[in-house]
């Protein structure tokens, strides 16, 4: 998107305000990615209850983020 597009300003503002968790600044990004991958694969492969599976995944990812000091 060119910088002259007014939507770009909104995207830049959102990134400036909320885009501060860069994956490459976390020491253990692979663990988060693997956890999400495993749980989503289980969800789709076993047709688990989506709300329960995603709620559990949310809790697990938040715990991992806290360990990394960003949650």
* pLDDT surpasses 50 at 1: no
- Give the rounded distance of the alpha carbon of 33 from its chain centre: 9
Q: pLDDT value at position 71? A: 59
Say which residue, 61 or 7, is predicted with more confidence: 61
pLDDT, position 34: 92
Do you know the residue count of the chain? 71
Tell me: pLDDT of 40 over 80: yes
DSSP character at residue 20? -
Q: How far apart are CA 3 and CA 9, in angstroms?
A: 8
What pLDDT score was predicted for residue 58?
Answer: 92
Per-residue pLDDT for 48 more than 80? no
Instruction: Record the tokens describing residue 9, joined without a space.
Output: 């300003």
- pLDDT at residue 44 greater than cutoff 80: yes
């Amino acid at each position: 998107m060119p910088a002259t597009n007014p939507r770009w300003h909104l995207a830049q503002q959102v990134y400036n305000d909320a885009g501060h968790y860069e994956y490459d600044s976390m020491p253990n990004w692979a663990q988060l990615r693997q956890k999400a991958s495993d749980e989503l694969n289980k969800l789709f492969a076993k047709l688990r209850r989506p709300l329960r599976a995603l709620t559990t995944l949310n809790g697990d990812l938040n715990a991992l983020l806290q360990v990394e000091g960003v949650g």
